[in-house]
Amino acid sequence: MMRTHTCGELNSSHIGQKAVLCGWADSKRNHGGVLFINLRDLYGITQITVNPENPFFQTAEKIKNEFVIKAEGIVAKRPQGNENKNNPTGEVEIIPSALEIISQSSELPFDLGEHAQAGEEIRLKYRYLDIRRKNISQNLVLRGKVANIIRSYLCERQFNEIETPILTKSTPEGARDYLVPCRTNPGTFYALPQSPQVFKQILMVAGMDRYFQLARNFRDEDLRSDRQPEHTQIDMEMSFAGEKDVAEAVEGMMEKIFSFLGEKIERPFLELEYKDAMSLYGSDKPDLRYDIKFENVTSIFKNSSFKVFSDVISSNGEIRAIKAKASAQIYSRGETDKLTDILKKNGAKGLAFFKIKEGKPEGGAGKFISGEEFSALSSLLNLQEGDTVFLIADFPENLNKYAGILRNSIIEKIKPPVLKKRAFLWVRHFPLLEKDCESGNWTFTHNPFTAPLKEHLNMLDTDPGEVLSYQYDLVLNGVELGSGSVRNHDIKIQEKIFSLMGYSKEEMYFRFPMILNALKYGAPPHAGIGIGFDRLMGIICSTDSIRDVIAFPKTTSGACLMTESPSPVSEKQLKELGISVIKK
Ligand code: ASP
């Protein structure tokens, strides 16, 4: 080994010992002629102190930031007053008896200091420099450790880690496929997997019983800040299992991960039916760290003199109310106008509100609220002086669209107390199908292999839009962390669902031959889930950007600035593939 210790290792217990350290010059200072070099590696920073009398002083003078150096010497106690309590190696320094510049560094394109503000573009272009910063390198170290915990937890529970192909056929998850042209058969293409969905189900048919993989998924969709064209998923599937078995396995895994981080999480996780999540929180991924929710107050307003409400009720609409506690001061006229505008932009006809002042509804719609309505609202919402109540009225499916926006905005504005640090939640029983706007056909809401609820099977013929499914989402602090379902192991039901989606038998066997054929040969009941590993790590590392937990991420426009991809290819390559590019 070139070194005896890392730069994060030495402390007062090593004083007097000889040490050889290697690393990068993080900084160099000259204090009264003495040179102090902070030598950095992945593990920490150790101070190298070079006096003018030192035979290596001239070498030290040549050292610049990010030079790679090797320092050999005795571990010495720092003079009193020079210790750095914030650094684990801060009590000692190395007085070098040898100092070598191993490699030099060009001038840096940006400052690597922990608090330096460098634009993301430049950081991604020089990602190898960016990763030297502790905030990124430590995320990557932690990511590796968490991956290890996941592997060992799942292996202990008889899950088999199995790799599935990257070059494959289209695997539908609702996004566009990335295609890879095939040279040996021009005009044909592989698709990169949107997830290993079909393969993991086939592995269950193959009798592999329990599968997992830290799988790479590729989805060509419009990118948002928390999306990447390729992302990693903790992908799992279990035979002879249902939704509760998957939940148990996942909750145990989360418990293990968070206990490694020193946190005890509450189990069992909360559960909500999809329809309740929508009506109580206006979201299928509500952030339940906050105790703030909608109440259906339609019946309270059945005799309302407020025309907006009575109109909505007479056309079978709904009125929902939400309380913003102690917020009368926060919601000035300007604020409520702003909020109304936001909701209108999202489809609402308006926003009614009132505040509680001297025990009465005041302002906004306050004058339309009768004494009886107010007392019913007061006891339902436990209203107190200074609270604001917002009311929205519309058809339920329209309300769902903007109720969530209203709730999030209230949370952001009034900052209610956080009930717990980690609010895990299962949202269950999503609708199986929804109408595709373009074709008018039914299409799957999550993936086409999800099983309908047993008790809804007979509605597949009569009322497909009302059929609920064994589809579940795992939510953490308002982030959709994962999605999974109990699958169709009965080929008749699977074919039926494809036919509702508008596929003829021929088409379905052309598009999904592997899974449909496999289901003919004795398929066990099975269920599974895919959990976004990047998102999970983003939450664990407390960063809003999943790019901070991925070694080589892409920008929001899908570019890798470091490798300069995507990029044009040569005419020769195109010719071999039988492809000609149409210039747009
Ligand atoms: N294949 C699904 C997804 O990638 C996860 C699953 O249902 O297991 O979202």
pLDDT tens across 37-69, in order? 999 999 999 999 999 999 999 999 999 999 999
65 and 47 in a common domain: yes
Number of domains in the chain: 3
3-state secondary structure of 151: helix
> What pLDDT, on the 0 to 100 scale, is given for residue 224?
73
State the distance from the centre of ligand 1 to the C-alpha of 140, rounded, in angstroms: 24
401 and 428 in a common domain: no
- Is residue 347 very low, low, confident or very high in pLDDT (cuts 50, 70, 90)? confident
- Given 351, 379, 414, the domain boundary residue is 414
431 and 406 in a common domain: no
Pocket of ligand 1 (CB under 6 A): 173, 195, 197, 217, 233, 447, 483-485, 528-530
- Is residue 441 very low, low, confident or very high in pLDDT (cuts 50, 70, 90)? confident
Residue 482 CA to its chain's centroid (Å): 9
Q: Give the mean model confidence (pLDDT) for residues 391-410.
A: 92
Residue 62 CA neighbour count, 13 Å, CB half: 12
Residue 376 burial class via C-beta count within 10 angstroms: exposed 0-12, middle 13-18, buried 19 and up: middle
396 and 307 in a common domain: yes
Q: Which H or E run includes 71?
A: strand 68-77
451 and 404 in a common domain: no
* Ligand 1 atom with the shortest distance to the CA of 484: 7
Burial 144-158 (b: 16+ CB within 10 A, else e): eebeebbeebbeeee
Contact call for residues 400 and 278 (beta carbons, < 8 A): yes
Which range has the top average pLDDT, 158-172, 338-352, 483-497? 483-497
State the distance from the centre of ligand 1 to the C-alpha of 172, rounded, in angstroms: 10
> What pLDDT, on the 0 to 100 scale, is given for residue 544?
87
State the distance from the centre of ligand 1 to the C-alpha of 204, rounded, in angstroms: 15
State the distance from the centre of ligand 1 to the C-alpha of 235, rounded, in angstroms: 7
> What pLDDT, on the 0 to 100 scale, is given for residue 36?
97
Which residue has its alpha carbon closest to ligand 1 atom 2? 530
Amino acid found at 259: S
541 and 455 in a common domain: yes
**From CA 526, how far away is CA 487, in angstroms rounded?**
6
State the distance from the centre of ligand 1 to the C-alpha of 213, rounded, in angstroms: 12
* Ligand 1 atom with the shortest distance to the CA of 528: 8
Q: Which region, left, alpha or beta, applies to residue 336 given φ > 0 means left and ψ of -120 to 50 means alpha?
A: alpha
Among 168, 170, 173, 219, which is best to mutate for testing ligand 1, by the most ligand atoms less than 8 A from CB? 173
Own/partner long-range contacts of 147-154 (Cβ < 8 Å, ≥24 apart) = 147/214, 147/533, 149/256, 149/257, 149/260, 150/212, 150/214, 150/234, 150/253, 150/257, 151/214, 153/252, 153/253, 153/256, 154/212, 154/236, 154/249, 154/253
3-state secondary structure of 113: coil
Asked if the model's pLDDT at residue 14 lies above 90, the reply is yes
Q: What's the pTM value of the predicted model, to 2 decimals?
A: 0.93
Residue ranges making up the domain that contains 319: 290-414
Considering only 42-51, 113-122, 209-218, which range has the smallest mean pLDDT?
Answer: 113-122
544 and 429 in a common domain: yes
- Given 414, 447, 469, the domain boundary residue is 414
State the distance from the centre of ligand 1 to the C-alpha of 215, rounded, in angstroms: 11
Supply the mean pLDDT for the chain.
94
Report pLDDT digits (tens) over 523-553: 999 999 999 999 999 999 999 899 999 999 9
371 and 298 in a common domain: yes
219 and 99 in a common domain: no
- Is residue 440 very low, low, confident or very high in pLDDT (cuts 50, 70, 90)? confident
380 and 471 in a common domain: no
State the distance from the centre of ligand 1 to the C-alpha of 377, rounded, in angstroms: 42
Asked if the model's pLDDT at residue 115 lies above 80, the reply is no
* Ligand 1 atom with the shortest distance to the CA of 482: 9
**Inside any domain, residue 230:** yes
**From CA 64, how far away is CA 81, in angstroms rounded?**
26
- Is residue 475 very low, low, confident or very high in pLDDT (cuts 50, 70, 90)? very high
The two tokens of residue 251 are 């909750």
**Inside any domain, residue 583:** no
The two tokens of residue 440 are 């008018």
553 and 491 in a common domain: yes
Q: Give the mean model confidence (pLDDT) for residues 405-413.
A: 96
End-to-end CA distance of the chain: 56
Of 225, 219, 205, the residue nearest 173 (C-alpha) = 219
Residue ranges with strand state E in 140-184: 160-161, 179-181
Q: Give the mean model confidence (pLDDT) for residues 260-276.
A: 97
- Is residue 86 very low, low, confident or very high in pLDDT (cuts 50, 70, 90)? very high
**Inside any domain, residue 193:** yes
